[in-house]
Structure 1
Amino acid sequence: MEKPTIAHVAQVAGVSPSTVSRILNGTARVTPQKQAAVHRAIAQLGYQPNVIAQGLARGRSMSVGVLVQDISSPFFGSILHGIEKALQGSPYQPVFIDGHWRADQEDAAISVLMGRQVDALIIVGGTVSDVRLREIAAHLPLILLGRKAEGLERRTLRVNHRQGAYLAMRHLIDLGHTRIAHITGDETHPDARDRLDGYLAALEDARIPFDPRLLVHGDFHEASGQHCAEALLESGQRFSAIFVGNDQMAYGVQLALYRHGLRVPDDVSLVGFDDQPFSAYTVPPLTTVRQPTTEMGLAAGHAVLKLLEGEDFVFPDLEVRLMLRDSTARLQR
């Protein structure tokens, strides 16, 4: 069966092909009756407009570039799922690219996306300079997720990482723990710095002296969690709990503790951050701070669609939440 074309739609609707094209592009000035006739013909024939061709006719690629730092990470994967879901049903398709946590690769990735003439950009995390981001925002709809940029506050969506860390620490302190180690994420990342701030604030509010020997710097990956836990154990420092900067590192910490014959939570209580999908299925299930990652991606996707249509938007209030599982227990004195 021959695939219906604009010419077929025009014939059935009793209008010219150019009128059909303008109606599909949203540029036609015709009577409501003619518009209705065209839409009836489209439905009758099962005509599928070529969205890409329509976009090119309007000078658009109908694509949204999305830069993340690690596509393989479940954390970023959940955000990407939310962005993809937000764009479903719109004419726009996401184009995903990885920055690999390196400024030079992030710049190269942005150049690739702009070379593909994407209509908008969503940048998740990363270390691209504020100056560069402002340059991009001056020419392209831009949404930032999980990072800060001076002058782009209204286009930035972040959750309260400091509050999340504070919740995790208050939980451990309420269980009687005072010797609480902290394994940070990448220090160049604002999320890691905010979580460290929450750790320190909770200690201060509980009048527990900060011991810098219980602070170890990781990089958000499983191997660094294992390495940092090994360093803590080999240092001989006494601790009964560890607040870890993200769940991926917490998995590595669990392995290190297991290899040293320490049980979670009987010997060491453990709290992570992010609530990644695997965290409910570790042994024991991990107590962690839930970041609403899918909702974050949805909000970013909806915001970029608003920008593309020249409309204003307000980000929703997204809150972190402590997910209590079996990796924490009251301190046994």
Structure 2
Amino acid sequence: METTLNYKRSAFAQELLESIRCGNYTAGMRILSERDLSDKFSVSRNTVREGLSELFEMKILERRGRGAFVTHEALRIIENGKEISGTPARVMVLMSFNMHESPIFRTIFESIRSGLNGRAACEVFFSDMLPGAAAENVSANDIVLIFGESFDYDAIREIHQRCRQVILINAQSNVFNTIMPDNYAAGRSVAEYLYENGHKQIGAALCDPELPSEFNDRFRGARDFLREKNLDIMVEDIADKSDTFRIMQTFMDRFLSRKATAIICFQDIQAVMLYEAARRKKVRLPDDLSVVSFDDRCYTANCVPALSTVRYPAEAIGGAALHTILTVLEGKEPDMHTQIVPALLKRESVKKLI
């Protein structure tokens, strides 16, 4: 009697099937214990038991004593029902509304879409709170890639139970696969650049430096480098956070009153606001005040003076995302966390003091 592989099986069972099909587990081999499987796949013991029960019913696994072993018929059953899925592989890209015009996202998405080259379908969904309603349509053969700033982690955990893999772009997590810039290293590189140019009085244009975020990681990197040089980074507590331009004006005024020679902005839009604030106050950049920033938006090289900034490594992150997706499609375990060190572009907005 031919066994049909039911594609509604759990994502955990799907992962085990893929491991057997790829030869990671061969006929007669004992699989890991329930506890080890739970740790390996980051799922509950109950999920492991349910998945194993599915594979016992399909005669992919058999019980011997207290262990579970791959049957000699397992590979044949899998190949006969080869539509290991009955549904083709799909990459679901979920992103927040504000990403739709982002050149960074465009670069990452194009890397993924072109690199898949027909090996999996690629569909895009938007939401104001990720993963959003698209999560209701996730199936066991999906690879879910989430790109945004605000996440419902409980919903993502539910998705993780039902799909092949979840990949977070530009976000930190100890549970899910993540691909992101090394913002801490980027912060260090900015502070080192200023220090090498003789700057020791450096302000951080960040309202909430202790708030967990990519900005916080950049701040910590800069702060830690300066501490190693026995220097403190200047911070200011600004009560009224309703107007970003006024915030940048206030940062500039306060840091100049404290004899700062340089300011670190944590995204390029802050830096160009600082440029305008300086123009209005007739503060000369970089003679009176040096400026560095992050992201390297399309206009930064054409600012006056040309803005020194850290380039977001969109091409490398897109390549890493594609590599992770292809690794999963091949039935292999991807790297859990990938961090890419961004490049600092040294232009004209930093004055050499020594």
TM over 0.5: yes
Residue 134 (structure 1) aligns with: 157
Residue 65 (structure 1) aligns with: 93
TM superposition shift of 1:270: 0.8
* 8 Å Cα contact 1:192/1:245 also seen in 2: yes
TM superposition shift of 1:83: 3.0
**TM-score between both structures, scaled by the size of structure 1:** 0.68
Distance 1:218 1:165 in 2: 26
Q: 3-state DSSP class of the match of 1:242? A: strand
* Paired residue total: 262
* 8 Å Cα contact 2:182/2:339 also seen in 1: no
**TM-score between both structures, scaled by the size of structure 2:** 0.65
Q: 5 Å matches for 1:276-295? A: 276-295=297-316
Distance 2:170 2:240 in 1: 19
The change in CA–CA distance for 1:217 and 1:195 in structure 2 (over 3 A counts) is: farther
TM superposition shift of 1:212: 3.1
Q: Which amino acid aligns with 1:144?
A: L
* 8 Å Cα contact 1:240/1:331 also seen in 2: no
Q: 5 Å matches for 1:186-225? A: 188-213=211-236, 224=244
Q: 5 Å matches for 1:1-333? A: 58-60=86-88, 62-68=90-96, 70-97=99-126, 99=127, 105-107=128-130, 110-117=131-138, 119-140=142-163, 141-152=165-176, 155-184=177-206, 188-213=211-236, 224=244, 226-235=245-254, 236-314=257-335, 318-331=340-353
> Unaligned stretches of 5+ in structure 1?
1-54, 100-104
Distance 1:178 1:306 in 2: 46
Compute the RMSD of aligned alpha carbons.
3.0
TM superposition shift of 1:170: 1.1
Q: Which amino acid aligns with 1:146?
A: N
Distance 1:284 1:217 in 2: 30
Q: Which amino acid aligns with 2:341?
A: E
TM superposition shift of 1:218: 11
The change in CA–CA distance for 1:85 and 1:247 in structure 2 (over 3 A counts) is: farther
Distance 2:162 2:205 in 1: 40
Distance 1:112 1:238 in 2: 51
Task: State the Cα deviation string for residues 191-231 of structure 1 (Å, max 9, x = none).
Answer: 11111111211221111134433x66999xxx73x333211
Q: Which amino acid aligns with 2:266?
A: G
TM superposition shift of 1:284: 1.9
* 8 Å Cα contact 1:183/1:217 also seen in 2: no
* 8 Å Cα contact 2:205/2:235 also seen in 1: no
Task: State the Cα deviation string for residues 110-138 of structure 1 (Å, max 9, x = none).
Answer: 23322454733211242324443322212
Distance 1:184 1:244 in 2: 7
Q: Which amino acid aligns with 2:203?
A: A
* 8 Å Cα contact 1:133/1:149 also seen in 2: no
> Unaligned stretches of 5+ in structure 2?
1-82
